[in-house]
Amino acid sequence: MKGFRQHPFRVSFRLLWFGLEVVVSLFDFLFHCVFCSKASRRRARALWLQRTGKRVGRVLNLQIRSLGEIPHRGLLISNHVSYVDILVLVSLAPALFVAKREVKFWPVMGLLAQLGGTVFIDRQRRTHVGEVNDDIRNALDDGALVTIFPEGTSSDGRAVLPFRSPLLEPATRLDQPLTVARLQYTLADGSPDEEVAYWGDATFFPHLLNLLSRDRVQSTVRFGIVTEPVPDRKALALQLHSAVSALK
């Protein structure tokens, strides 16, 4: 609650603004996604999540700088620092995200993730990986952009954690564009690895309150294209990890 004590009026105003944007987004979903056809539902949800991400980004005064070619289809492989990553990436291009099952039960953000069509993976069920990979392939065949965070967890953002290979199986196919990205953050009035990064023993609501107290959040996203992915999943995890790590 340090941020609230420092800037109580800013946090209170932004918290109310955040709540208002969530309500507006729910009505937006009702009008644009509930009654759309099954064939267009995935695209409608991705566009809805993009609009929602931009709304919430304005609450945080999120300023985004992108370097490299922004992908609009295929697989996007990125490092993972915070729930803010989703706001950043979806603001640049509508996308489908793959997330761990626990995200589904986060307050507010979990609901937005569900409505946005996020594919949740239950790592306690080994057979679930195959089902998720089928969902990813179906989305790719529909022309969607699918974003995966293969570190499997968020970190302080200083280094890229080793990549887990199970969800990279669709990337071994050579018929889809494969893009890597690295997200980095700066704060004018704080430390990004402590106040933007969502990791360790951080809990959502206190973390969000502190983030709302910051003047602005600046994000830099660097993109790179992988033109010759190796066909072996474990070797590909190493290749993509090196590609993401080199984006700095």
Compute the CA torsion angle 32, 35, 37, 40 (nearest 10 deg): 20
pLDDT reported for residue 158 = 85
The phi, psi pair for 78, rounded to 5°, reads -135, 155
Tell me the C-alpha distance between 188 and 61, whole Å. Answer: 12
Mean pLDDT by 10 residues, the chain (248 residues): 79 96 97 88 96 97 97 96 96 95 88 94 78 90 94 86 89 86 94 89 89 96 94 93 95
pLDDT at 123: 73
CB 124, CB 147: distance < 8 Å: no
Burial environment of residue 52 by CB neighbours within 10 A (0 to 12, 13 to 18, 19 or more)? buried
Residue 125 has what pLDDT?
74
Sheet containing strand 145-148, edge to edge, reads: 62-67, 217-225, 178-187, 74-78, 145-148, 96-100, 119-121
Q: What are phi and psi of 178, to 5 degrees?
A: -125, 120
The predicted pLDDT at position 130 comes to: 84
Domains of the chain: 2-245 (3.40.1130)
